[in-house]
Structure 1
């Protein structure tokens, strides 16, 4: 089983963290899965880069499996975040549009009535992101926040987005990109071999949050207070 990290060259908040991640040791070229896509391998991590909108490429996990024979255990997308506040932010969130009816067209990808399985790393990585952002001096300039699910693309394995917001000024910030790369490096166990947030399903408690606004502050407060027992 491999972890698929996905970036798009059309998004500075996606390609920046991907470049910082690839600058860390241990990478080698991986197989392409279609025209215009390239990949890189580091242990059981696969980084896939394409040129399209991050929400437009459905079924990347199944397509990777078909092209390489490798089963994908989870997908992590790197992306920009936009907000009317224009406030700089680092965010994580699950994906899907379960609130839409079958006759509605999703404005940002996905399939009406569908949501991906949430990546179990979301809570632990939110806390890791907070720690790294503080250590790197990004807080309080950047807000660290959890978002509710609200867009695609379609996937078939546990999925999460990790984003830089909220305007072009911040999408290309190298210090923010480096912070996201460190979350990936540490969280996926490439630094010391100990992953952050992997879930074995051996009786650990699962928290399901329903309701709230786009940023679900009550849910985030609970997540930030949780600690592994």
Structure 2
């Protein structure tokens, strides 16, 4: 079982951390993947591509077919773009469950799809905060989770680790070094034990499925920043496509609130469950961000699906 770390020369915030990582000891040339170079270090395989990452579909399957190695999980190194232009280091799961058939795939993926979230997301977010603080990147850089979004289509547990939010920061060597150190320590390439390896025997077996909130999921993140918390998909309010029943003059319950929101939640729940075998996935609602009719419909639907709703204290083993 190997971990794929994927970078592209088309993105300075991707190739920068990859170059810093390859400057660390223990790397050796690996097999090529359709003319893309790779490098090996213990159970890690770093692949250097030359296209946009969001269109590189099924990299896990392509690697397995080319090498015979089974892919355990995938980490993409990428740039982050935000209208605020604020410098940031971000981590997030991927998927486009809110897209409908026929909609343009401007950022990869496919309608109604989400990849299993990489179990390392929560532990690596906390590790990244520590690294950013120790390297004096904070407060200039924000360290944040993001909601589930974009492609590429893939079936292995996956996450994106990003530097934002403008070209000036994408090229920052200190940010690249911090991301390289995150991968180095997180995957146990140095002397320390890898961070964020999930086990079905883990006694901290509750996983947060975030529902509601903005793109940077602040209320979910408040919980995930505590030691020992595991996190799966995080669905922002804008991705929950719900039709206001007041416009249809219908009673407010999950059976009549139209839209594709049920399937979006179901896909996020099932893929999170797949990523954490033996764990218990609990929904965490950002109540303040949801309107009353939305909150009522979601709670009713979760109850119908036997998906438990967790309080902040349910996720923290401390």
TM > 0.5 fold call: yes
Q: Deviations over 1:51-110 (max 9, x none)?
A: 000111100000000000000000000000000000000000000100111222222000
The 2-side partners of 1:26 and 1:142 are apart by 30
The 2-side partners of 1:24 and 1:45 are apart by 13
Matched, 1:215 2:238: no
Report if the CA contact (8 A) 1:93-1:148 is conserved. Answer: yes
Corresponding residue pairs, total: 228
The 2-side partners of 1:201 and 1:120 are apart by 12
What is the CA distance between 1:191 and its match in structure 2? 1.2
Give the alignment of 1:20-39 within 5 angstroms: 20-35=20-35, 37-39=36-38
Structure (1 or 2) with the larger CA radius of gyration: 2
SS of the counterpart of 2:38?
strand
5+ long unaligned stretches in structure 1:
none
Give the alignment of 1:1-229 within 5 angstroms: 1-35=1-35, 37-203=36-202, 204-227=205-228, 229=317
The 1-side partners of 2:200 and 2:228 are apart by 17
SS of the counterpart of 1:6?
strand
Q: Deviations over 1:8-54 (max 9, x none)?
A: 0010000000000000000000000102x100000000000110001
Report if the CA contact (8 A) 2:94-2:117 is conserved. Answer: yes
The 1-side partners of 2:55 and 2:218 are apart by 28
The 2-side partners of 1:116 and 1:227 are apart by 23
Deviates more, 1:153-162 or 1:207-216: 207-216
RMSD (Å), alpha carbons: 1.0
Report if the CA contact (8 A) 2:146-2:216 is conserved. Answer: yes
What is the CA distance between 1:227 and its match in structure 2? 2.8
SS of the counterpart of 1:154?
coil
Report runs of 4+ in structure 1 exceeding 4 Å deviation. Answer: none
The 1-side partners of 2:206 and 2:186 are apart by 20
Q: Deviations over 1:165-222 (max 9, x none)?
A: 0000000000000000000000001112401001012252211112211111111111
The 2-side partners of 1:201 and 1:187 are apart by 19
Q: Deviations over 1:140-169 (max 9, x none)?
A: 000000000110001110000000000000
Report if the CA contact (8 A) 2:126-2:227 is conserved. Answer: no
The 2-side partners of 1:122 and 1:193 are apart by 18
5+ long unaligned stretches in structure 2:
230-316
- Say which structure, 1 or 2, has more relative contact order (CA 8 Å, 6+ apart): 1
Q: TM-score, normalised by structure 1?
A: 0.97
Q: TM-score, normalised by structure 2?
A: 0.70
Report if the CA contact (8 A) 2:13-2:79 is conserved. Answer: yes
What is the CA distance between 1:226 and its match in structure 2? 3.8
The 2-side partners of 1:67 and 1:97 are apart by 27
SS of the counterpart of 2:220?
helix
